[in-house]
Structure 1
């Protein structure tokens, strides 16, 4: 891939021009000594580029950085790896959103310039994710989990580096408001731990639970309980709270909140949002047990008044976790479909029974159709 250069001059002169420009901006960078090679030049230049973030002219900033890339990209492989890592770290350590779009462009150029299948691309991709998290945007970055896993395989990363990529990907997705994709990545990350090292993922597991509970579009949590790092949290308040969201009721949550208000607030969860979600989850449990739910039961179990029921049921239907109709005359809600909050042995047995019944019904229908399709043989005349 060709990379745009800042000025069309020999490499050594180009490096000298970049040094002078950075010095003019106040960078603490020494003059190039006689006989200094390009690798040494770039080792001096790259850490000094932080002064560029205060330059108002974005085109000038992008031009300087692309010029550095044009010098860097053709260095020998053994030197290129270190320089790419240095460049990536320097571009990703800038605070907040300073020139974030430019930094993303430069890192993207570098990522494709070295070839995404090359191990050298690993630190560059990490830099991309860091800047994406700062900027709150993941446009033009590979974030599909399956594709990222292929990159990890191509790079033949260690378990530690694999986890680093997944953690950075999670943060970038979360800051870009891609909550469902972020949750999928975190589950993948936690799934990489074994019984031996699950305790090391305590913070990740805690963060995963909190962010899942806080996500307004996530209602099913039973899969989290099977993750080893989450199991390691058994006995802690966050695990108890997760269990309530998996299979508990409104009353269970209210009792927990009354006893641990400070904890709920300390982890950044909204009590009002928790109440909203627990009402929906409690309703789902009720709908599994009974296909006709009286208003009185809803009022009692969900702690809402009769005039709030219609709006509440509409909210439930919007989640696509249940379908039903309100019978205002009979003061009840008729359920036609509901999603199970947990899917364990009992649910598998129920599904197996339903499939067997469908198979029997289909066999019966097929037999009737075959009977109707048989040609009618006229009886012999007497």
Structure 2
């Protein structure tokens, strides 16, 4: 956050009004310029004496475009930032949070005008404004405006590092579901075309879609999420790192099942999360042009679907999968089984041992393609069994210890 240090006898806000007024009337000649500059300075002084900081902000911002849109030499960039920081500092003088918020809105609107010009500086100033604002709702507003400016000004690098703190921001601001939804959607639109951020893009798509809980309050808004729901499905299918997701449980995704345009995309998700390779191959035969339209490569889909089919086998077996079951489900030859097992292990979705003699794969852990209520109940059951086993082991150890201690006492008595 920038700190204002007054280096002149004139109050910083008045100095800014004077300098911008002189710049605005520089070409008018002294006879016209001097009275206008004096008038604006007198008006600013009246606002300051009366504590009318919203009016002061309007006055100071009136000529801000002259600074923002004019060519700025590198050695003058700091001067421009200083002027804008003085304007932002007005929110600390406001007599109420509402007045501070209105001042912030004026500043945001001015900085959002022609965002392609000096976008980095504009975003930096918005972050300074964020730190100066007292209200949490005001901070949330300014952060959103910074995201919008970054997107419009093609300056995503200025805001992407802050995305790792989004969950902390949301908790700190205390904003509701609609505001969270707008925030996550803004983030996804920045990440969508940002190179190397595919995982983060999918993560925030999920966060956005999860804000729709299927309640009556969401009835009007959920229809607008269809495009993002379809995009999340495509990203999941494309990814070579993702083998589990909760998309099927989300109302925003479920609505695609009856949507004329996106129903095939929903069907594709169901195949990847609940079915095996043969179902995908049948779907691809009937929808090859659709898959190509979404940029899906058939060979890559087959690779992923074979691994998903292997996970499905692991989930339905009792810990042992015969080679014959794998060759059938994955549609491969016997000599390819171990290749796909190694591929699943290297992808960290399967832990197992291969019994070549008996042609068995002994599974100790596998990734569940979906993790809903049945999986939670199964995990709870396993934890209950493990807890009982540990308690039984502790009781046995304690009983043995008592027996040993008793035996040693008898030995001491006999020696005496």
TM-score normalised according to structure 1 size: 0.77
Residues 26-50 of structure 1 show CA distances to partners (whole Å, capped at 9, x for unaligned) of xxxxxx7773455444444345666
Q: What do the CA deviations read for 1:325-366 (whole angstroms, capped 9, x no partner)?
A: 445666654432212223456545544543343344334423
The 3 A distance-change label for structure 1 pair 243 and 41 is same
**2:53 corresponds to which residue?**
none
- Aligned-pair CA distance for 1:65: 4.0
Q: State the structure with more CA Rg.
A: 2
The alignment status of 1:13 with 2:18, answered yes or no, reads: yes
**1:233 to 2:256 alignment:** yes
1:35 aligns with 39
2:32 equivalent in structure 1: none
CA distance in 1: counterparts of 2:178 and 2:340, whole angstroms: 46
Q: Secondary structure at the match of 2:370?
A: coil
CA 1:356–1:131 in structure 2 vs 1: closer, same or farther (change >3 Å)? same
* Equivalent in the alignment of 1:27: none
Aligned partners of 2:191 and 2:201 also within 8 Å: yes
Change (3 A) 1:47 1:329: farther
Q: How far is 1:124 from its partner?
A: 2.2
2:365 partner SS:
strand
> In the alignment, is the contact (CA less than 8 A) between 1:42 and 1:83 conserved in 2?
no
1:314 and 2:342 correspond? yes
2:211 paired with 1:195: no
Match of 2:103 among 69, 80, 87: 80
- The CA distance in 1 between the partners of 2:83 and 2:357, in whole Å, is 75
Deviation of 1:259 after TM superposition, in Å, equals 0.9
Pick from 280, 283, 295 the counterpart of residue 253 of structure 1.
280
The 2-side partners of 1:351 and 1:232 are apart by 29
Name the counterpart of 1:366: 394
Larger fraction in helix: 2
Unaligned runs of 5+ in 1: 24-31
Aligned equivalents of 1:279, 1:74: Cα separation in 2 = 61
Of residues 320, 335, 338, the one that matches 2:363 is 335
Given the superposition, is the C-alpha separation of residues 293 and 183 from structure 1 closer, same or farther in structure 2, using an over 3 Å criterion?
Answer: same
Judge which range, 276-285 or 366-375, deviates more: 366-375
The structural deviation recorded for 1:218 is 1.7
Alignment partners' CA distance in 2, 1:286 and 1:227:
25
* Matching of residue 216 in structure 1 with residue 235 in structure 2: no
**Counterpart residue number, 1:67:** 83
Task: Report how far residue 378 of structure 1 moved.
Answer: 4.4
1:141 equivalenced with 2:145 (yes/no): no
